[in-house]
Structure 1
């Protein structure tokens, strides 16, 4: 049973990341893996229940003005991660305001490490991702489509450490609205996916991380059973962290960047086996900048650090169940 390429679009909202170490509250990362909506589109597959399995690895090094401070010591610090994700996509065939509805539930597991002099390792369950609603509109026969949705990260992952930031889980909620705009015609998937993370306060440290904006870009072409094309992503912090009265960090927000911007480019290849689709993409982050003007004003130094590196992701998607087709009436001809 052929699985629509649009399934990979819906599967793209899977979220987990270890590629932005120290970009927000120390020890925490962007909840959504940068680039996770690569190969996404605003399309929706036929009614049914689908499953997807994704694995990816991140190999990177810390960069930013903090590597030249006494804290960083101008050393090369590696940041690695390996992540496994299982998810389910539900397409009941419902429509609302002319849009097709779908919903997802996603559970990631990860292991990550930061090299010397930090020498930090963790392994555990990331926060469960719930996507109660996505709505997709097709714009007549033009090939254009628009999808909107809302993702919620629940604070049920593995939480350790005095600040609750020592493992894959997060002791706070994250709400993530999204919009995807696509051109889907003649085998083309030209898509831009925009989504923004809004975090609640860490219930242990009382620290609130700033909002993180993501933008993922896909320009692929299906040729027979193959799909190929360039991809790219951007993500960055667009609002300041806050560490008010009761916050456990004596230095407040001075040790973490208040702004960072990271760009990546890469390529994608996919193959449709019929019962399942396999996609692999790889990206290299070509630009990474971080800053904290308040730290410079207060101490004369900027301790901002972000990770810059390479991601390789593989995704396998397939349909578990489809509604039974209505039996066709027999055609009996009487002369």
Structure 2
């Protein structure tokens, strides 16, 4: 059976990661679990029943910005190269009028950070390994009549099974905590248009090694594309920001005393905001579909209101992303056999 790869690309709820020392009080902690913009090109739609696979690769080339750069300079580079293998399961089930699907994703990461931070042993200049596995056991999509509008909601979970190293568990690309990521997509899908706002937020449990808890991270990915024949083109954008402060419990490794707890959270970017714009192009080959989008972060800032401005050493990345996705159907249910027709 010929696969509907265009529908797959529009529907796949996918997750990946890009290295950033965004709000770490400890070296090497990323500011987010899901790569900002990862759901660009996705929508609230669902492809036909089957098992689908998607392969993703992307590069993120950036420099540090924020108060810390007043001391270290504005040309400290942070780079990442990421490979992602994912599966989308669409069994054809419905619930409360919605179509059900599930997602499983495994990212692999290679990242580096430049000088002068890489001269500090606490900041490994290069890291590589498996990031936490992403599982979305439930996603539900509703079509709103014949209007072309659709809504999708679900829950993604990052399992703490990535490559974890170091005294705080943060010296490599894995995170020693769970991340729960509820999502909401609102789409207009008619006449070749995909106009989608995909909203999702990361809620983290505490670091199982030292007890530190990262604040909530909010994402919004925007797609406005038009399909003409086998080609799809259009502008895209994303926003990511930390919307609640980090915390460090007294009595934990990161906060053995009230003073230590304050010190642990005092050097962080308790809040950061990044905006990016770019474009997407896709070609549908039939058996598979290839999508490429690129974005430039046009605004990035970080601050910590818990400390005096002169003592704030917050930092965040600002850079460019090139992101490619190849998607295809691995299996589809057999079509019912048609009754034989006999004629005299």
Task: Confirm or deny: 8 A CA contact 1:6 1:41 kept in the other structure.
Answer: no
Equivalent of 1:217 in 219, 222, 232: 222
TM-score normalised according to structure 2 size = 0.93
- The equivalent residue for 2:79 is 80
Q: Deviations 1:261-319 (Å, cap 9, x if unpaired)?
A: 1000000000000000000000000000111011217xx32111000000000000000
Q: Indicate the residue corresponding to 2:240 in structure 1.
A: 235
- The equivalent of 2:169 in structure 1 is 164
Cα deviations by residue, 1:28-85 (Å, 9 ceiling, x for unpaired): 22000000010010000000000000000000000011111xxx33352000000000
Q: Secondary structure at the match of 1:327?
A: coil
> Quick check: 2:63–2:74 contact (8 Å CA) kept in 1?
no
What secondary structure does 1:5 align onto? helix
How far residue 23 of structure 1 moved from its aligned partner, in angstroms, is 2.6
1:258 and 2:264 are equivalent in the alignment: no
Distance 1:258 1:303 in 2: 11
Distance in structure 1 (CA, Å) of the matches to 2:4 and 2:114: 41
Match of 1:270 in 2: 282
User: Once superposed, which parts of structure 1, at least 4 consecutive aligned residues long, lie more than 4 Å away?
Assistant: none
2:300 is equivalent to residue 288 of structure 1: yes
Q: Secondary structure at the match of 1:185?
A: coil
Contact 2:5/2:287 (<8 A) preserved: no
For 1:293, what is the secondary structure of its paired residue?
Answer: coil
* Residue matched to 2:332: 322
Q: Does 1:302 align with 2:293?
A: no
Q: Is the 8 A contact 2:5 2:286 kept in 1?
A: no
Which residue of the partner structure matches residue 18 of structure 2? Answer: 17
CA RMSD of aligned residues (A): 1.3
Asked if the contact 2:62–2:77 (Cα under 8 Å) also holds between the matched residues in 1, the reply is yes
Answer with 286-295 or 3-12: which moved more: 3-12
Structure 2 match to 1:248: 254
After superposition, the Cα gap between the structure-2 partners of 1:222 and 1:286, relative to the gap in structure 1 and judged at 3 Å, is: same
Q: How big is the shift at 1:103?
A: 0.3
Equivalent residue, structure 2, for 1:35: 37
Does the CA contact (< 8 Å) of 2:14 and 2:86 recur in 1? no
Distance change in 2, residues 1:25/1:278 (3 Å)? farther
CA contact (8 A) 1:51 1:318 kept: yes
Structure 2: unaligned runs, 5 residues or longer: 119-124
